[in-house]
Amino acid sequence: MIRHFERRNPLENMARFYRLELRPTLFGEWSVVRLWGRIGTGGREQLETHATWESALAAADRLERAKRGRGYMALKQLE
């Protein structure tokens, strides 16, 4: 699952992206991968591992709610 968000404000010269991905690990766990930064750059990446798909999905949903609360708009979601 991949979710991509952007936040743009030309008056503040702001153009940011945020991406959430759920990936399986080699050991049967699930990782929530967060990528963020200024649009046009490689950005930064952080990995968070969870024991089950459900807990990883709950963490991704929590992060999505936080980003939407800060003004990020969803662009696409891939399953």
Residue 77 has pLDDT above 90, yes or no: no
* 31-72 confidence digits (pLDDT tens): 999 999 999 999 999 999 999 999 999 999 999 999 999 999
* 70: containing domain: 2-78
* Long-range contacts at 62-70 (CB < 8 A, ≥ 24 apart): 63/20, 63/32, 63/34, 64/3, 64/5, 64/20, 67/5, 67/18, 68/5, 70/7
pLDDT at 50: 98
**Domain containing residue 12: CATH number:** 2.20.140.10
